[in-house]
Amino acid sequence: MNRNRLFTQRHPTVLFVDMNSFFASCEQQDNYWLRGRPVGVCVYTGRNGCVIAPSIEAKLRGVKTGMRLDQAIVLCPELVPIETHPGRYREYHVKIIDVLRTFSDDVVPKSIDEAVVDLTNYQLVYKDMSQTAVAIKQAIRQKVGDWLRCSIGIAPNVFLAKLASNVQKPDGLTIITPDTIDSVLQTLTLTDLPGIGHRMAARLEAGGVRTPLELRYATPDHLRAVCKSIIGWHWHIRLNFGGEVDLDTSPDNKSMSAMRTISQEQRSTPERLDELLQSLCLTLERRMVQKGVFCQDMSFSCRYHNGKTYNYEARFNEPKQDGPELYGIIKERLEKFQLAHRCEPVLNEHLRSMCVAVFRFIPAEVVPLSLFENDDRKGKFRQTLYDLKAKFGTDKLVRATELRDNPVYKDVIGFGNIKDL
C-alpha cells in the first residue's frame, strides 16, 4: 500500500521512533551484568572483528559503528565485546512494533530499529503529540524492556520526523514545525540530512545549494535540474510541508541481496571463500522460498582491498530459486573468466567483500514447468525444508552441502533487513 500524499500538511502528526543503540541495548536488556558497561556488538570478536553496534556507554567513550575491535579496545579498554544474536533482535523488533500498533494502525517499520507511527488520521484521538510520544516511550519500557530507550521525532512528514529524531540522543523528543524548521536547519550541514551523502552534497553544492536552508528555499525546478531527477522535487516537498513522499509501504521486494564483508580468517583459503559464496546463495534461496518467488536476473560482485571490483550479471531463460544452482552458475562464470584472462582466481586472499543479488521476480505459481526436469518436486522439497527449519530450528535439518565443522557463515541481520519479519 502506498500512503504517500501530495497536499499541504503543516501539523506535526508523524512520529519517527528510533531505538537507541538497539542491538547493544537488547544485549543489556537480557544480561543484567552488561547494563551501564560499554558494550560492542560484533559479528566476530576476534582481533580484526568489527563493532557493528556500540552501546550508549561505548559511544560516549568514542567507540563508533564500523570501528575495528582492536582499535575500539585501545580507545576504550573496558569495552565488552559481544557476538551478535540476530534472533534476539528480531524478537524485540516484533514486540516493539506490536506496542506501537496499540497506538495506531498506521505503523510502518522502516528498519530493524526504526518505525513510523502516522497519527494523521488520529488527531481527534491524540490532542497532544508530545504526550503521545512520552506514552510510547513508557509503553516500550513497560511492555518490552526497561533498558530500552528511543528517540522520537515529531513533524508533518516522515523525513522531517526522522531528522527530528536525530537531534537529541539518547532518549530524546524533538518536534519540527513550520515555526521551528529554519532554526533546526541552520545548525546542520547537507550531509546531516537523511538521504544526502557526500556525492549528493557535492552535486548540490556545485548547483549553488550549500546549506540545508538554501536547499529548503531553492525552487523545485532548480533542484530538479541540479539533481537531474525527480529527487530534487521530493526535497522541495519534504522541506516545505508539501505532502508525504516517504510512506510507500508496499511489502514487495524489488530485489534481494546477500552480502558479507570478509575477515582475514575467512579469506585464508579458497575453500572458505567458496563456502561463503555457497552460503550467500542458500540465503537468497531461503528468502525467495519464503516470499514464494523465482528470480529471472542475478548479479555477483566482489570488492578488493586495493579498491578494485569484479562484477557479473546474468539473465536466465528459465526462472531460478535453487541456491546450489545459483552457486553453480557463478562458479562456472568465475572459472571461465580466469581461463580466458589467465589471471588469479576472482575469489582470492585480497577479497574484501562479496555480494550476490537476485531481482526481476515472478510468483512461483506462474513459473513454467520444464519438459525435462521435475521442477515441481524440487520446489516442494525447498518449501518443506524451510517449513521444517522454521518449526524446529535452522540447524535441525540441513543439506549435506551445509555441513561444516566450523561454519564460515553466521546468521547476521542488517539494520534495514526487516521484510522477512
Alpha carbons 287 and 251: distance in angstroms, whole number? 13
pLDDT tens, 79-136? Answer: 999 999 988 999 999 999 999 999 999 999 999 999 999 998 898 999 999 999 999 9
Residue 226: alpha-carbon gap to chain centroid: 28
pLDDT value of position 307: 83
pLDDT value of position 146: 96
Q: Under CATH, what is the fold of the domain 1-178?
A: Alpha-Beta Plaits (3.30.70)
Break the chain into its structural domains and give their ranges. Answer: 1-178, 255-402
> For the stretch 90-115, what's the b/e string if a residue is b when 16 or more beta carbons lie within 10 angstroms of its beta carbon?
bebbeebbebbeebbebbbbbebbbb
Which residue out of 57, 78, 83, 114 is catalytically annotated? Answer: 114
Mention every residue, 6+ apart, whose C-beta is less than 8 A from residue 22: 53, 89, 92, 112, 113
Residue 387: alpha-carbon gap to chain centroid: 25
CATH of the domain spanning 255-402, picked from 3.40.50.300, 3.30.420.40, 3.30.1490.100, 3.40.980.10:
3.30.1490.100
E runs forming strands in 20-67: 39-42, 51-54
Q: 372: pLDDT confidence band, cut at 50, 70 and 90?
A: very low
> 393 vs 87, 207, 388, 396, CA distance in Å?
11, 54, 8, 6
pTM: 0.71
pLDDT value of position 46: 79
Task: Check whether 378 has a pLDDT greater than 80.
Answer: no
pLDDT tens, 236-281? Answer: 999 999 888 887 655 556 788 898 888 777 777 888 899 899 999 9
Amino acid at 130: S
Q: 297: pLDDT confidence band, cut at 50, 70 and 90?
A: very high
Task: Check whether 404 has a pLDDT greater than 60.
Answer: no
- Catalytic, 114? Answer yes
Can you give the length of the chain in residues?
A: 421
Tell me what the pLDDT averaged over the chain comes to. 86
pLDDT value of position 15: 97
| Phi (first) and psi of residue 335, to 5 degrees | -65, -40
pLDDT value of position 12: 93
Q: Can you tell me the mean pLDDT for 330-358? A: 91
Amino acid at 223: L
SS3 392: helix
Query: Which helix (DSSP H) or strand (DSSP E) does residue 211 occupy?
Result: none
Mention every residue, 6+ apart, whose C-beta is less than 8 A from residue 181: 160, 216, 239
Question: Among residues 119, 122, 111, 115, which one has the least CA distance to residue 165?
Answer: 115
Question: Among residues 27, 29, 33, 31, which one has the least CA distance to residue 51?
Answer: 27
**How far separated are the first and last CA of the chain, in Å rounded?**
17
Q: 371: pLDDT confidence band, cut at 50, 70 and 90?
A: very low
